[in-house]
Amino acid sequence: MSEDQLLTTDEVALRLRIKPETIYAYVSRGLLAKVKVPGERISRFRLADVERLAARTQATRPGRDAAPAMRTAITLIAYGRLHYRGLDVATLAPVTPFEEVAHWLWTGERQKPAFPASAETLGRARRASDHLPAQARLFDRLPVIVAVAAAMDPLRFDLAPATVTALAPALLSTMVDALPLAGEAPADDSLATRLWLRLTGTPASPEGVRALNAALVLLADHDLAASTIAVRVAASTRANPYAAVLAGLGALDGPMHGAVGSSVYRMIEAALREGAPAAIVEWLRTGSLPGFGHSLYPEGDPRGAALLDLVAELPLEGDLRRAVDDLIAMAVRRGALPNVDFAVAVLAHATGMGPSAGEVIFAIARAAGWIAHVVEEYAQPNNRFRWSSGYTGPPPASA
């Protein structure tokens, strides 16, 4: 990104992880300069100045009560947009293969490598996950598949960047191809097409695969989300890449993170069955409206908008289109815009995918970003994450 880019006060506060009022203290002490933009009343700050200040304030080793800083060159959220190594993700998503974006995240190079998987690893992963009970979700198979892939890789403890990025395509392919088929064999070998046939028996269409590929691109990384932090903490102990991905899957399974997709899917189901007002009221009783709003995108999630544009090109049934439009209209009246979770749930409904499809799409996509963070974390000092517990229990018993 250009060093001449300007950030708002809120964006600077997010980047430096400080309160907005602290920014003005930096300005008064001459540590940060405000920039006046003709025609605007608000202050802005140069990205280059903010980065230099971040290096000064975050590069020192933290005290016992402070969390270590996580610096990353992978993803930036600024101006209400998401960027992978400087490239706008909403622009990439409709036209770029997921494999190319994954390789860009890992290496900073624009290539579309092959994503093969070992036949022996696939066979063992399928057999292992087939032992899960009938009520197991599709997502439940993924940790089993990753664990088998790890056991089959004799180089998993080689943490060199080249080794990690070399194993990554096979890992993602195994996560997809070891899932049970729901449709006929794919006409092409793109990861999006192969995943489509694990999520729905509906015949793959070019428009549908394009939307699914875009969903994978849009979800591949999102800065330091909870699951990514879990991955980086695991990587800091020098856990192998497969183990780090397993840590991410554990965090992703929370209902406030990757598993929120099934909640959005059910809300759309309720809107189809009972109408949008009844569905929204029922969810508001729980205190939240899943699929709408995002704290990092007060003007709207660009990932959700980009994916909904592609889903709109699919042959949505009349009832589904009305339910989706009504849900969006009612949420907008409450000041909440659809986010990427809502868009993925609409994609799942439109293509005959089940309620667990969203979290599987999320997991496959985000594994690409996790690998990029693993490589980045291996370059940092090991075991650097140590927080004070803030003990609140009873005092030690006297002897």
Residues with active-site annotation: 294, 341
- Amino acid identity, residue 212? L
CB 355 within 8 A of CB 308: no
CB 323 within 8 A of CB 272: yes
Q: How far apart are CA 171 and CA 152, in angstroms?
A: 11
